[in-house]
Structure 1
Amino acid sequence: MKLSLRGVGKSYSGRGGATNALAPLDMDVREGEFISLVGPSGCGKSTLLHIVAGLEPATAGAVELDGERVLGPGAEIGLMFQQQTLFPWLSVRENVRFPLTLARNRARAPGGARDRQAARIESLLRLVGLWDFRDGYPAELSGGMQQRAVLARALVVQPEVLLMDEPFGALDAQTREQMQELLLHLIQHHRITTLFVTHDVDEALLLADRVVVFSERPGRVLATLDVTFARAARSSELKLDEAFLHQKREIMALLRGRPRSETQRDRLLFGLTHTQLEQGEGGS
């Protein structure tokens, strides 16, 4: 399912006049593609996700899924936020089942039959490593386990598009890395069309097919970079690869306000210097 944004922009009216949060932008997301959005705080990345989800209207432009305009929330789009959003009075299994009880999602329930729903829930809980905790409650889980449950809940209705807004931002470094590894596994095997907001450039590169870099408010697209690392080769160790570090430097330079032409020039100079150093070391 193709996601298309045409001239999508957002401004807010206040006592001091209008505030432009997001400059009009165009974007096409191919079926199964994973796109990371990075940029300064307040540049409109989360606002863009809310617009795509149908949670708030754009003040300009339109969002379309396979040619159909998105006018409000729907089962085709799954959501996952930084804040833990589980219902504390429901068990893990009941939290994951909850979207299937909503009228708008019943038509998309796997097979419609209760036993097939139960099988789907069990499969997801096993996939995220929570089957043994299915009857526990959110307060009994660690932060990482809670986010695993939220991820399973977002996937239970088999959405066409998954929107993730800093989903791992509140986790400690080790747990965040574990969640990244889990998401890499899901991406490789299920290829869900995903828009992923993060402030972590390493995370953006590790997970994405493309990284979109935004400017300060009003957010506009500074650059879109293709990530060329093979899916099967991606793991936390990739962050130490020289090619990975080159792309990270390019994104960081863009975020600091340097033109992309300069970052590309620096990358070439760095590569030349690195080669010369290697040759020098080999001849000594």
Structure 2
Amino acid sequence: MKLSLRGVGKSYSGRRGETNALSPLDMDVREGEFISLVGPSGCGKSTLLHIVAGLEPPTAGTVDLDGERVRGPGAELGLMFQQQTLFPWLSVRENVRFPLTLAHRRSRGGAGDAGRQAAQVEGLLRLVGLWDFRDSYPAELSGGMQQRAALARALVGQPEVLLMDEPFGALDAQTREEMQELLLHLIQRHRITTLFVTHDVDEALLLSDRVVVFSERPGRVLASLDVTFTRAARSSELKLDEAFLHQKREILALLRGRPRTATQRDRLLLGLTNTRTEGGS
């Protein structure tokens, strides 16, 4: 088992007393699996991601990666957030290389290591379409290009698990779709175990092997749904497929606290309402 969560919960203490942010939950993530976490704002999705990343401790429970307890951030975990965190004073190439440079200094590696790192950075920048912008600075890039650079940086250390917190949420619709397709390509190529937080049900279904639906705060798991499409079949056109829309209706119904059947409002949102009147031809 790649990633194992047992009884993981989180509460915070403040002037108004204790706030229960995340109800204790169990979750297993298989090697190479892509899981999306969806749910209302404030339900604990991002909190769970931060706990898995070792950025904050759980109030209860444990997180194990390949049988080893996660006690803090490490090179085995790659992180990517909605707001890109590129260093403005470094070029694109330097930003992507930064995790390797840090590890190189800590290990006191030799020139051969530096050469391998340069080749690794070049390969990723070519893969995400930024090689021609390798010497540009973040302020000179569009939002989508900045997120491409951030994705390359998250992958450069060859992490065992990739943790992504609404990484495309601030992008326009067309750029977001381009980033989804790029991520699909990279995940298929590298088979990285991924936990992905999103509010976009379409995005979750398009990218994931499994979608975990959370309740309102304190967040608890309402359902864990296997996505029925093979990775080879994933593309933006899949969003129009009836099987895709059926699974979307299931998730929307769960999020609205109703049985997993489509309501009239769901059908309107999905563009499925028959415009003909009852009994019309």
Q: TM-score, normalised by structure 2?
A: 0.90
Counterpart in the other structure of 2:206: 206
Query: In structure 1, the residue corresponding to 2:85 is in which secondary structure?
Result: coil
1:158/1:77 CA distance change after superposition, 3 Å: same
Counterpart in the other structure of 1:161: 161
What is the alpha-carbon distance in structure 1 between the residues aligned to residue 105 and residue 186 of structure 2?
Answer: 22
Counterpart AA for 1:66: D
Q: How many residues of Structure 1 are paired with residues of Structure 2 in the alignment?
A: 264
Q: 1:16 offset after TM fit, Å? A: 1.0
Counterpart in the other structure of 2:228: 228
Cα contact 1:24–1:61 (8 A) shared by 2: yes
Q: Deviations over 1:49-104 (max 9, x none)?
A: 00000000000000000110000000000000000110000000000011112249
1:33/1:54 CA distance change after superposition, 3 Å: same
Counterpart AA for 1:215: S
What is the alpha-carbon distance in structure 1 between the residues aligned to residue 88 and residue 173 of structure 2?
Answer: 25
1:263 paired with 2:260, answer: yes
Q: How does 1:1-284 map to 2 (within 5 A)?
A: 2-103=2-103, 113-258=113-258, 262-263=259-260
What is the alpha-carbon distance in structure 2 between the residues aligned to residue 190 and residue 71 of structure 1?
Answer: 26
Counterpart AA for 1:120: Q
Query: In structure 2, the residue corresponding to 1:8 is in which secondary structure?
Result: strand
1:2/1:234 CA distance change after superposition, 3 Å: same
1:133/1:15 CA distance change after superposition, 3 Å: same
1:263/1:72 CA distance change after superposition, 3 Å: same
Cα contact 2:249–2:261 (8 A) shared by 1: no
Cα contact 2:253–2:261 (8 A) shared by 1: no
What is the alpha-carbon distance in structure 2 between the residues aligned to residue 22 and residue 182 of structure 1?
Answer: 32
What is the alpha-carbon distance in structure 1 between the residues aligned to residue 230 and residue 68 of structure 2?
Answer: 32
Counterpart AA for 1:26: D
What is the alpha-carbon distance in structure 2 between the residues aligned to residue 176 and residue 39 of structure 1?
Answer: 20
What is the alpha-carbon distance in structure 2 between the residues aligned to residue 250 and residue 104 of structure 1?
Answer: 48
Counterpart AA for 2:225: L
What is the alpha-carbon distance in structure 2 between the residues aligned to residue 104 and residue 6 of structure 1?
Answer: 34
**Structure 2 stretches lacking a partner, 5+ long:** 268-273, 275-280
Cα contact 1:99–1:105 (8 A) shared by 2: no
**Structure 1 stretches lacking a partner, 5+ long:** 271-276, 278-283
What is the alpha-carbon distance in structure 2 between the residues aligned to residue 265 and residue 59 of structure 1?
Answer: 37
What is the alpha-carbon distance in structure 2 between the residues aligned to residue 112 and residue 251 of structure 1?
Answer: 50
What is the alpha-carbon distance in structure 2 between the residues aligned to residue 265 and residue 239 of structure 1?
Answer: 17
Query: In structure 1, the residue corresponding to 2:116 is in which secondary structure?
Result: helix
1:252/1:105 CA distance change after superposition, 3 Å: farther
What is the alpha-carbon distance in structure 2 between the residues aligned to residue 255 and residue 155 of structure 1?
Answer: 32
Q: Percent of aligned pairs with the same residue?
A: 87
